[in-house]
A and B are shown apart, each in its own frame.
Chain A
């Protein structure tokens, strides 16, 4: 299944970069390009793309106006929106209008890959995190290392408490957030995330085994070999869960 893409940006070089990068993707097809908000609305109406790369600052209206206008169309299936901008101050607003991602320019091809991968996962069936109803969070947004991250919780491997902060580890890196374990635990689906220690939460999808160490301690071993200590009080809970 191909993903049909519209690229909206008032700068020709910015459009060219996306076009060239998307051409390398076998499953992506750019069905149109536009340079103004009005053009974008018209083009999206006609082509019904799956995905729109949308610049926020355009000459006539901004990207949010485009989203607003599209959402008012009757009987119109909203495409996924990925904002592309050089400004980081719109991130929360983008998050609130349920944008699929927020690419800060300039972005590396890797970052775009990442975005497309998420789009594909969503297109190929509901990700595990979504079938559990709206009570639990599916994504977290925060600033890290000069970027804006719309991090799906499924990408989290484990979470460690560090004083007033939590460290969220994904496959490639880790992010330090000013957040509490309690607040995070409340927002994470207990079917997927388990508190194994006062200062550790693991994503069960990434747990390989629970091991009793020679020194009498117990540890959770993740797929990537990461060892997370586990405290006694939590041990019975996780063993019951794993043996079912």
Chain B
């Protein structure tokens, strides 16, 4: 991720580039020059705009360079200085720098102050310091506060992006954990069935091992992928159903219908399997005669609605460990919430004569990039 890469070194805001920073500083100087020029004209005093610009421009050019050097070399000190350091170090520094700046400036303008008899360098410097020392200090401290502000803003921004990234990682970790809870559960049930079939019907046990391998292969192939095209999910459910059909020896009539336009809709990987498993464990395994299981996937406006209906003894008279159904479905619900927030939902209700309907609804997202490998033809 480029974001992670960037945060490893301190961010360099574009406005702290030397050319831009010093350029702005000079621009401020020129504005002061313009202001003084207009003022002077108002009082009927004649002085050239060019000359004023040179003086002010030079002043702020020097300050720009000084401040940029401060930023470049003393940034962390500026950001962290406490009151003690402010008084013992920064204050003397501000005085020294103000004097140095004026010393350089005075060198450049031997004619200043104008309309006065010629003076030597030290006189001119004293004169200039008298007039401008406070201004210089103000410039220094303004720059100082500005730098501190920039550093604080950067820190705040960094914290913000880190928090967002952590949030994403947390969600991913939780999703992975939830998925892991789903897998071993049915894996061990299947192994138990095979272990039992081995004694009675070797061929069937063999067949079931093949089916179980297919399921594992599909799961491993997907790896950490969270969203898959619906037809991949259906493929998984079909294989799972075939395996269950073996275990229940045809006692359950299964129907599965999917609206064709939805094959490419993205759904959370392995979202249906725990619901179907629940239908078997808590509903179909409880009835001795012919059971029914139907899975129906439809488009409903901008949503995909997947419902699983099974016959059995209804919600109240459910066998098995009480509350187990709740755990499996709570996982599904959690995953839906993590993926879709309020836009995903799961409902569980009884629909007459002991039939239980579990319906998941989630926003319709079509997988645009057809990454699926195509069939090959021979020859």
Do the two shown chains form a genuine complex with each other? yes
Given A108-B210, A144-B235, A138 and B263 contact (CB-CB distance below 8 Å): no
The answer to whether B206 touches A162, judged by C-beta atoms less than 8 angstroms apart, is no
A213 CB to nearest chain B CB (Å): 23
The answer to whether B261 touches A165, judged by C-beta atoms less than 8 angstroms apart, is no
Interface residue? A171 (CB, 8 A): no
Determine the chain B residues whose CB is within 8 A of the CB of A142 once the complex forms: 374-376
Interface residue? A179 (CB, 8 A): yes
B contact face: mostly helix, strand, loop, or mixed? helix
Q: How large is the interface on B (under 10, 10 to 19, 20 to 34, 35 or more residues)?
A: 20 to 34
Q: Determine the distance from Cα of A107 to Cα of B234 in the docked complex, in whole angstroms.
A: 22
Interface residue? A206 (CB, 8 A): no
The answer to whether B379 touches A138, judged by C-beta atoms less than 8 angstroms apart, is yes
Q: Determine the distance from Cα of A18 to Cα of B305 in the docked complex, in whole angstroms.
A: 45
Interface residue? B209 (CB, 8 A): yes
Q: Determine the distance from Cα of A92 to Cα of B373 in the docked complex, in whole angstroms.
A: 11
Determine the chain A residues whose CB is within 8 A of the CB of B370 once the complex forms: 164, 178
Q: Determine the distance from Cα of A239 to Cα of B225 in the docked complex, in whole angstroms.
A: 49
Interface residue? A134 (CB, 8 A): yes
Chain A residue nearest in CB terms to B216: A146
Determine the chain A residues whose CB is within 8 A of the CB of B213 once the complex forms: 104-106, 146
The answer to whether B207 touches A178, judged by C-beta atoms less than 8 angstroms apart, is no
B377 CB to nearest chain A CB (Å): 4
The answer to whether A137 touches B210, judged by C-beta atoms less than 8 angstroms apart, is no
The answer to whether A145 touches B376, judged by C-beta atoms less than 8 angstroms apart, is no
Tell me the chain A residues, 109-164 only, with Cβ under 8 Å from chain B.
Answer: 109-111, 134, 137-147, 150, 162-164
Q: Determine the distance from Cα of A134 to Cα of B377 in the docked complex, in whole angstroms.
A: 11
Given A141-B375, A142-B375, A176 and B214 contact (CB-CB distance below 8 Å): no
The answer to whether B214 touches A95, judged by C-beta atoms less than 8 angstroms apart, is no
Interface residue? A227 (CB, 8 A): no
Tell me the chain A residues, 153-201 only, with Cβ under 8 Å from chain B.
Answer: 162-165, 176-179, 187
Interface residue? A88 (CB, 8 A): yes
Number of chain A residues close to chain B: CB under 8 A:
34
For the complex with contacts A165-B263, A176-B231, 19 further pairs of A-B residues with Cβ separation under 8 Å are: A95-B378, A104-B213, A108-B209, A110-B207, A137-B379, A139-B377, A140-B375, A140-B377, A142-B374, A145-B235, A146-B217, A146-B221, A147-B214, A162-B263, A163-B260, A163-B261, A177-B375, A179-B374, A187-B377
The answer to whether B210 touches A140, judged by C-beta atoms less than 8 angstroms apart, is no
Determine the chain B residues whose CB is within 8 A of the CB of A107 once the complex forms: 210
Q: Determine the distance from Cα of A143 to Cα of B217 in the docked complex, in whole angstroms.
A: 11
B25 CB to nearest chain A CB (Å): 61
Chain A residue nearest in CB terms to B205: A108
Residues 237-254 of chain B: 1 if any A CB is under 8 Å from the residue's CB, otherwise 0? 011000000000000000
Q: Which of A134, A137, A140, A146 contacts B239 (CB 8 A)?
A: A146
Interface residue? B115 (CB, 8 A): no
Interface residue? B218 (CB, 8 A): yes
The answer to whether A137 touches B263, judged by C-beta atoms less than 8 angstroms apart, is no
The answer to whether B376 touches A143, judged by C-beta atoms less than 8 angstroms apart, is no
Determine the chain B residues whose CB is within 8 A of the CB of A109 once the complex forms: 203, 206-207
Tell me the chain B residues, 187-219 only, with Cβ under 8 Å from chain A.
Answer: 203, 206-207, 209-210, 213-218
Q: Determine the distance from Cα of A142 to Cα of B264 in the docked complex, in whole angstroms.
A: 18
Chain A residue nearest in CB terms to B217: A146
Chain A residue nearest in CB terms to B215: A146
B146 CB to nearest chain A CB (Å): 58
Q: Which of A105, A108, A111, A179 contacts B375 (CB 8 A)?
A: A179
The answer to whether B218 touches A108, judged by C-beta atoms less than 8 angstroms apart, is no
The answer to whether B207 touches A108, judged by C-beta atoms less than 8 angstroms apart, is yes
Determine the chain A residues whose CB is within 8 A of the CB of B264 once the complex forms: 163-164
Chain B residue nearest in CB terms to A188: B377
Residues 77-112 of chain A: 1 if any B CB is under 8 Å from the residue's CB, otherwise 0? 000000000001000100100100000111111110
B113 CB to nearest chain A CB (Å): 84
The answer to whether A163 touches B375, judged by C-beta atoms less than 8 angstroms apart, is no
Q: Which of B206, B373, B378 contacts A139 (CB 8 A)?
A: B378
The answer to whether B260 touches A92, judged by C-beta atoms less than 8 angstroms apart, is no
B350 CB to nearest chain A CB (Å): 32
Chain A residue nearest in CB terms to B371: A178
Interface residue? B342 (CB, 8 A): no
5 tightest CB-CB pairs across the interface, nearest first?
Answer: A146-B214, A162-B260, A137-B377, A108-B207, A142-B375
Interface residue? B372 (CB, 8 A): yes
The answer to whether A92 touches B263, judged by C-beta atoms less than 8 angstroms apart, is no
The answer to whether A108 touches B373, judged by C-beta atoms less than 8 angstroms apart, is no
Given A146-B239, A162-B263, A106 and B375 contact (CB-CB distance below 8 Å): no
Question: Can you name 5 A-B residue pairings with CB atoms under 8 Å?
Answer: A111-B210, A141-B376, A142-B375, A145-B235, A164-B263
Q: Which of A92, A147, A162 contacts B376 (CB 8 A)?
A: A92
The answer to whether A108 touches B203, judged by C-beta atoms less than 8 angstroms apart, is yes
Chain B residue nearest in CB terms to A110: B207
Q: Determine the distance from Cα of A95 to Cα of B378 in the docked complex, in whole angstroms.
A: 8
Determine the chain B residues whose CB is within 8 A of the CB of A165 once the complex forms: 231, 260, 263
Q: Determine the distance from Cα of A139 to Cα of B215 in the docked complex, in whole angstroms.
A: 25
Most interface-central of A141, A162, A178, A179 (chain B CB within 10 A): A178
Determine the chain A residues whose CB is within 8 A of the CB of B238 once the complex forms: 145
Q: Determine the distance from Cα of A92 to Cα of B209 in the docked complex, in whole angstroms.
A: 24
Determine the chain B residues whose CB is within 8 A of the CB of A139 once the complex forms: 377-378
Chain A residue nearest in CB terms to B239: A145
Q: Determine the distance from Cα of A104 to Cα of B347 in the docked complex, in whole angstroms.
A: 39
Chain B residue nearest in CB terms to A112: B206
Q: Which of B214, B263, B377 contacts A145 (CB 8 A)?
A: B214
Determine the chain B residues whose CB is within 8 A of the CB of A137 once the complex forms: 377-379
Determine the chain A residues whose CB is within 8 A of the CB of B203 once the complex forms: 108-110
A140 CB to nearest chain B CB (Å): 5
